[in-house]
């Protein structure tokens, strides 16, 4: 298994871009977007699927960004791009949930910055 060292100060939530903080709040369940017809809580679904796959999503009150959350944020950012080929190896259910979350964020005018695309996190091994 490849170990990647990330400076801890970059993992402190208040040091992350606001858009990442907001998406992380959605991912953790600390914030919920208004449910619209045909659009249930997509982030709750992603939490469920990710949890079943062994990804750890921290509580909404955690003040830092976890490894698995960083991975999921990177995958969502990739799914917001037209060329999300990095995600092709991911589990189909997880991929569908990630893509749906990316669409919902786009509908809300929320686009993760390219900096969120930590390429070394995008391939599930």
- What percent of the chain is helix, strand and coil (3-state, nearest 5)? 55, 5, 45
Q: What is the mean pLDDT of residues 66-95?
A: 78
**pLDDT score at 46:** 93
The pLDDT tens digits for 91-118 are 788 888 888 898 889 888 888 877 666 5
Give 55: exposed, middle or buried? Use CB within 10 Å, 0-12, 13-18, 19+: middle
Q: pLDDT-derived band of residue 83, with 50, 70 and 90 as boundaries?
A: low
pTM of this structure: 0.74
The pLDDT tens digits for 17-39 are 899 999 999 999 988 877 665 56
Q: How many Cβ atoms are within 10 Å of 32's Cβ, its own excluded?
A: 11
The pLDDT tens digits for 35-65 are 665 566 889 999 999 999 999 999 999 999 9
């Amino acid at each position: 298994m490849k170990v990647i060292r990330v400076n801890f100060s970059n993992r402190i939530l208040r040091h992350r871009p606001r858009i990442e903080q907001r998406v992380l709040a959605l991912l953790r369940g600390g914030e919920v977007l208004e449910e619209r017809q045909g659009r249930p809580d997509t982030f709750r679904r992603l939490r469920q699927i990710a949890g079943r796959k062994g990804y750890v999503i921290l509580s909404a009150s955690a003040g830092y960004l976890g490894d698995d959350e960083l991975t999921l944020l990177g995958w969502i950012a990739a799914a917001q791009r037209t060329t999300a080929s990095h995600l092709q190896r991911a589990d189909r259910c997880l991929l569908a949930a990630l893509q749906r979350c990316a669409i919902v964020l786009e509908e809300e005018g929320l686009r993760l910055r390219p900096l969120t695309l930590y390429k070394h996190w995008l391939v599930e091994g």
